Amino acid sequence: MNELKVGTRGSKLALVQTESVVEMLRNIYPHIRFSIHVIRTTGDKVSDLPLQRLKGKGFFVKEIETALLDGRIDIAVHSMKDMPTSIVDGLTIAAVCMRLDPRDALVLRGEGEDGYVWEDASLSIIPNGAVVGTSSLRRKAQLLHLRPDLVIKHLRGNVDTRLRKLDEGQFDAIVVAAAALERLNLNHRITALLPIHVCTPAAGQGALAVEARSDDKRTLELIKPLDDKRARAEVEAERALIAALGAGCHVPVGACARCINDDELEMTAVVASTDGKVVLRRTMRGSLRSARELGEKLAEKLIADGADQIISG
């Protein structure tokens, strides 16, 4: 193989993520030429609406997966949290790359520039009645549960756009994925990293997925060195929980599994009502080798607590 065509979204973050994957592959295979192909997705085209108002799923991956199936590209790089739990027939997740911090980051206007980051901060650092920007129902519900005084306003767009709107005074604070800021070298903007028991992240947050055709054995073998055992186990548990709950982006659901040693996972998951008045959260531990089972068992616990009633609406 002389060339590998890599598909990605065109945002600054997506391109940085894709280039990081390509750079790892270049170091392993210096004789292969890699070309990056930007593909515009539905989620990119409709940037002014909340995702929960769009029909279907896979808003940030569908067009890229079509290009992969058509053979226009050989692999695709995605943010794992954008991927539906059911993979399209004919495709497979060839690698889950080493994961960055999965937590959500709080960015307060006028703060965070000194590089000091609050670890495990409570929401008390947000001023009373503050206007907080986020596009996520999951974040909104968990924030309102602990701080019903907050005014949560819709905020979509790339990371630079969100920070600009914060700096312009449209918001007092915003909440974004810590990993996104890290990849863009914007760690200094982080005011606080929100604890998982305060704001449980989205399933797959902080991880990158490399997708390929399931019958393309040669490419699958090339990508194999990028697969991180721990990251794959964490993501597998989280995605198994989402699948077992039958939840998508229209329901406030979060899941975060972390390897606490070479053999064990600890996983926290949350299901909440959209107004934040009801929040069901549980934590379980399980074997690294049985990640999927851990996710399914934790889903069962949440369903027993009443999660199915919240999800069904």
For residues 228 and 203, give the distance between their C-alpha atoms in angstroms, rounded to a whole number.
Answer: 17
pLDDT higher than threshold 90 for residue 133: yes
Of the listed 82, 104, 172, 216, which one is catalytic? Answer: 82
Q: Taking the model in full, what pTM does it have?
A: 0.92
- Quick one: pLDDT band at residue 54, thresholds 50, 70, 90? very low
Taking only the tens place, the pLDDT of each residue in 258-288 is 999 889 999 999 999 999 999 999 999 999 9
Domains of the chain from N-terminus onward: 1-97+207-227 (3.40.190.10), 104-193 (3.40.190.10), 228-313 (3.30.160.40)
Mean of pLDDT values over 120-131:
87
Paired tokens of 244: 């077992």
Taking only the tens place, the pLDDT of each residue in 85-94 is 999 999 999 9
In sequence order, what are the beta bridge partners of 265? 259, 286
High-pLDDT (> 90) share of the chain, %: 83
For residues 49 and 76, give the distance between their C-alpha atoms in angstroms, rounded to a whole number.
Answer: 25
Helix pair 12-28, 159-167: axis angle to 10 deg: 140
Q: What pLDDT, on the 0 to 100 scale, is given for residue 116?
A: 57
Q: What pLDDT, on the 0 to 100 scale, is given for residue 119?
A: 65
pLDDT higher than threshold 80 for residue 111: no
Mean of pLDDT values over 161-169:
96
Counts of helices then strands in the chain (DSSP H, E): 10, 14
Least confident of 19-28, 74-83, 107-116: 107-116
Beta strands in 9-145 (DSSP E): 33-38, 75-79, 91-96, 104-108, 118-119, 131-134
Share the mean pLDDT of the chain: 92
pLDDT higher than threshold 70 for residue 49: no
Using alpha carbons, select from 57, 137, 97 the residue that is nearest to residue 235.
97
Mean of pLDDT values over 134-138:
93
Q: What pLDDT, on the 0 to 100 scale, is given for residue 113?
A: 55
Mean of pLDDT values over 213-221:
97
- Quick one: pLDDT band at residue 50, thresholds 50, 70, 90? low
Exposed/middle/buried for residue 217 (C-beta within 10 Å: 0-12, 13-18, 19+): exposed
Provide the residue type at 119 as one letter. Answer: E
82 given a catalytic annotation = yes
